């Protein structure tokens, strides 16, 4: 079948139930770069079981639907799929273990033209199975670069958060590991673009790129360190646009502008001298 946006909007996804442990929380934190300095006790709180805390950005991997864009009935050119945007809202502090469930739902498919692709927005609400309480709400936007030009009404682009034009109030530089994509994928995102050199080359990259959500985690670390004193309970809501890929081993600079409990930010790859995450917004307690 050919790519059909109406089919995608009406397609039912299975409910994903996930049981996770403190080990999974530590593995996630290692996959976004915490523990590079094993003597940093602030970071140790996220990778060591004694007094373990959960990274706020781990919410995006809870009850993760997997690489659903690869499923044959959707007819998405999955090799050309890129992560375009991510938002999370935390309703409660994330527990270090438990069973959660969520159902992925496609809410919007927008034709950006044959040269750009199709923007596909999905959401899911992650619930604690034992208590029945909502833990977090997640909104994910992907760009299917090989599926544009299907026609239909052009929808207006949602208003993006503005990053100030003045110099940032704070800057935080954090390294990534050469093997970071191989670590991060063990948290549930098995897109081969991030592991297979041949798949990466076929998609137009010189090597496997870092998951957008691993870069997202590095950025979360920078904000957690700079704005929240490593207290994850201060995070309430965050959203970003992904603007360029990162290669594992690059250094991510998070540029931060703070206005009370609202924070604007963006991220730059120092090696590429390129903005890789833009129009960032964080609400803290």
CA distance 230 to 32: 15
Interior/surface letters 217-244, b for 16+ CB within 10 angstroms, e for the rest = bbbbbbbbbbbbebebebbebbbbbbeb
* Active-site pick, 64, 83, 194, 221: 194
Structure tokens at 47: 């990778």
- 209 catalytically annotated: yes
* Active-site pick, 148, 188, 212, 222: 212
Where would I find the H helices in the chain?
A: 5-10, 22-31, 41-44, 180-184, 197-202, 212-227
* Active-site pick, 24, 111, 128, 189: 189
Closest CA to 68 of 83, 56, 85, 55: 83
Structure tokens at 184: 């991060």
CA distance 182 to 175: 16
Dump the DSSP string for 57-108.
GGGGGTT---SGGG-GGG---GGGEEEEEEEEEESSPPPSSEEEEEE-EEEE
Question: Residue 198's CB: how many other CB atoms inside 10 A?
Answer: 9
- 36 catalytically annotated: no
* Active-site pick, 209, 252, 277, 284: 209
Which positions are annotated as active-site residues? 189, 194, 209, 212
């Amino acid at each position: 079948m050919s790519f059909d946006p109406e089919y995608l909007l009406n397609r039912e996804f299975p409910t994903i139930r996930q049981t996770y442990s403190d080990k999974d929380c530590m593995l996630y934190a290692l996959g976004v770069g915490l523990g590079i300095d094993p003597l940093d006790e602030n970071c140790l709180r996220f990778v060591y079981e004694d007094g373990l805390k959960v990274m706020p950005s781990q919410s995006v991997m809870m009850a993760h639907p997997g690489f659903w864009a690869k499923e044959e009935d959707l007819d998405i050119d999955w090799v050309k799929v890129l992560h375009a945007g991510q938002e999370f809202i935390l309703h409660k502090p994330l527990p270090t273990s438990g069973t959660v469930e969520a159902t992925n739902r496609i809410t919007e498919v927008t034709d950006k033209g044959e040269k750009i692709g199709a923007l596909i927005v999905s959401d899911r609400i992650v619930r604690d199975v034992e208590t029945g309480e909502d833990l977090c709400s997640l909104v994910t936007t992907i760009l299917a670069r090989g599926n544009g030009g299907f026609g239909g009404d052009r929808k207006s682009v949602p208003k993006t958060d503005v990053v100030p034009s003045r110099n940032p109030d704070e800057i935080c530089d954090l390294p990534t590991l050469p093997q970071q994509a191989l670590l991060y994928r063990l948290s549930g995102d098995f897109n081969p673009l991030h592991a297979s050199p041949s798949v990466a080359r076929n998609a137009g990259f010189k090597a496997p790129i870092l998951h957008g959500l691993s870069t997202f985690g590095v950025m979360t670390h920078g904000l957690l360190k700079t704005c929240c004193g490593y207290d994850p309970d201060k995070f309430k809501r965050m959203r970003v646009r992904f603007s360029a890929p990162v290669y594992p081993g690059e250094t991510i600079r998070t540029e931060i502008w703070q206005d009370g409990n609202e924070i604007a930010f963006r991220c730059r790859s120092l090696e590429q001298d390129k903005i890789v995450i833009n129009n960032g917004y964080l609400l803290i307690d």
